């Protein structure tokens, strides 16, 4: 199965975040800068209106004001941007459990095998873009390819709000004509050295003698040659901050749910994803919570304490127990979610029998094998019998 990797890049992130709470700056040149009172501060992010005046990131504020005296300058609010970034990552996590956050405003997603759920890569990207924009009021560009480097390069090709596919078969026509200084991973000094060698485009680099590049730049020379030819490791390295409070998944269903059996299937799918993510990060939680949004848009959350776990069966068992006890069956469900939290080493450990421990260890080994197969061949390669039976019906 061909790998499908997305790079989701938030457009003009800091100033876009400010726009959500300062709608009066929409349509006006605006930027987030170090300290508006200090004209020696630098531009951190400028909106696209301001960029038309030539204002760029890292530009000295005094220079930016010369180019655009009417520029609206807003001081940075790092905590607010971190909060918005977390909200973006939460949305992305609802599409795949395999995410590598590259910075506060961009992340790679392994969408391999997700086509059966969200549609082909282009449709999936459109769905993600619309979801972020409608829920958070933020725009993004998405690059689609089979590895991290090509998806990153693709994400830069259409901004703002662009979606671009760049597969290895396309590199000669789409990637090679680009200037060498636009290549991801090449800094100003390396770019200048390459240009001095007559390497002006990515295509020039791709066709250059690899051995000479290694002799000139060391291992990095060979690495750059591979990237220019579209060769990169597609595997993602998910990161999870130590202070993470919960891992959860939710879905707004295509049609309102009134049947408990249908809700069970969805909850099982969500529990499987939550458990897989928990195991990936080596986390065991002791609080399971479900979220329900009814068709009348009223929401409820319910939670219960469980023995620390990262297993699908445990999370699902707690979730379905909460659902059966809490669901007002007179109200159809519009959104259903489940999460696990309470990741603490100090949680009181109760005694369990050798039989229970053995059963738990066996279950985790099985789920670890499932994780490995999914990561290698896509999330849809292996599924639980109940889910397969549902699809056949």
Q: Residue 48: its pLDDT value, please?
A: 95
Domains along the chain?
13-78 (3.40.1170.60), 170-228 (1.10.150.20), 246-392 (3.30.1490.100)
Q: Residue 38: its pLDDT value, please?
A: 55
Residue 109 predicted with pLDDT over 60: yes
Q: Give the SS3 label for residue 102.
A: strand
pTM: 0.65
CA atoms of 329 and 294, how far apart (whole Å) = 10
Beta bridge partners of 179: 201
The sign of the CA dihedral 205, 209, 215, 219 is positive
Residue 89 predicted with pLDDT over 60: yes
**Those residues with Cβ within 8 angstroms of residue 50's Cβ, 6 or more apart along the chain or in another chain:** 29, 30, 31, 64, 68, 71
Q: Residue 356: its pLDDT value, please?
A: 46
Q: What does the pLDDT average to over 100-127?
A: 93
* Catalytic residue IDs: 106
Q: Residue 23: its pLDDT value, please?
A: 95
**Confidence band for 364, pLDDT divided at 50, 70 and 90:** low
114 φψ region: left (φ > 0), alpha (ψ -120 to 50), beta (else): alpha
CA atoms of 348 and 341, how far apart (whole Å) = 15
Predicted confidence (pLDDT) per residue in 205-233, tens digit: 999 999 999 999 999 999 999 999 999 98
Predicted confidence (pLDDT) per residue in 283-313, tens digit: 889 999 999 999 888 889 999 999 999 999 9
Residue 374 predicted with pLDDT over 60: no
Q: Picking from 37-51, 78-92, 242-256, which range would have the lowest pLDDT averaged per residue?
A: 242-256
Residue 333 predicted with pLDDT over 70: yes
Q: Residue 282: its pLDDT value, please?
A: 81
Q: Residue 124: its pLDDT value, please?
A: 96
Complete DSSP assignment for 5-23 = EEEEEETTHHHHHHHHH-G
Q: What does the pLDDT average to over 50-76?
A: 94
Q: Tokens for 174?
A: 């789409």
Q: Picking from 2-6, 191-195, 241-245, 318-322, which range would have the lowest pLDDT averaged per residue?
A: 241-245
CA atoms of 226 and 38, how far apart (whole Å) = 44
How many percent of the chain have pLDDT more than 90? Answer: 66
Q: What does the pLDDT average to over 32-46?
A: 77
Q: What does the pLDDT average to over 341-368?
A: 55
């Amino acid at each position: 199965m061909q790998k499908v990797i997305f790079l989701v890049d938030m457009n003009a992130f800091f100033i876009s975040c400010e726009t959500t709470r300062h709608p009066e700056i929409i349509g006006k040149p605006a930027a987030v800068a170090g300290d508006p009172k200090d004209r020696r501060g630098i531009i951190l992010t400028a909106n696209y209106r301001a960029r038309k005046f030539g204002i760029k990131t890292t530009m000295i504020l005094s220079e930016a004001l010369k180019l655009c005296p009417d520029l609206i300058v807003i001081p940075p609010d790092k905590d607010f941007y971190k909060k918005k970034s977390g909200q973006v990552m939460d949305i992305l996590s609802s599409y795949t459990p395999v995410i590598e956050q590259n910075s506060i405003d961009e992340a790679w997603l392994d969408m391999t095998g997700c086509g059966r759920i969200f549609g082909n890569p282009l449709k999936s990207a459109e769905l993600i873009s619309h979801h972020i924009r409608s829920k958070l009021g933020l725009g993004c560009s998405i690059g689609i390819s089979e590895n991290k480097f090509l998806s990153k390069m693709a994400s830069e090709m259409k901004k703002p709000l662009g979606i671009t596919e760049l597969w290895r078969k396309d590199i000669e026509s789409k990637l090679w004509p680009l200037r060498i200084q636009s290549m991801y991973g090449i800094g100003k000094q390396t770019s200048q050295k390459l240009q001095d060698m007559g390497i002006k485009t990515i295509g020039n680099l791709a066709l250059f003698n690899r051995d000479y590049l290694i002799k000139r730049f060391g291992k990095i020379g060979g690495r750059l040659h591979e990237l220019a030819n579209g060769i990169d490791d597609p595997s993602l390295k998910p990161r999870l901050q130590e202070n993470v409070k919960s891992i959860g998944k939710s879905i707004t269903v295509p049609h309102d749910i009134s049947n408990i059996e249908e809700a069970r299937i969805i909850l099982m799918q969500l529990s499987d994803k939550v458990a897989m993510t928990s195991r990936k990060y080596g986390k065991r939680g002791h609080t399971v919570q479900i979220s329900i949004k009814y068709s009348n848009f009223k929401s409820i959350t319910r939670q219960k304490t469980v023995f620390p776990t990262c297993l699908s069966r445990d999370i699902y068992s707690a979730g379905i127990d909460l659902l059966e006890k809490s669901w007002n069956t007179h109200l159809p469900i519009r959104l259903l979610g489940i999460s696990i939290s309470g990741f603490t080493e100090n949680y009181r450990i109760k005694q369990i029998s050798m039989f229970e421990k053995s059963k738990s260890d066996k279950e985790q080994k099985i789920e670890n094998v499932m994780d490995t197969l999914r990561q290698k061949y896509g999330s849809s390669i292996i599924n639980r019998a109940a889910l397969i039976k549902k699809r056949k019906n």
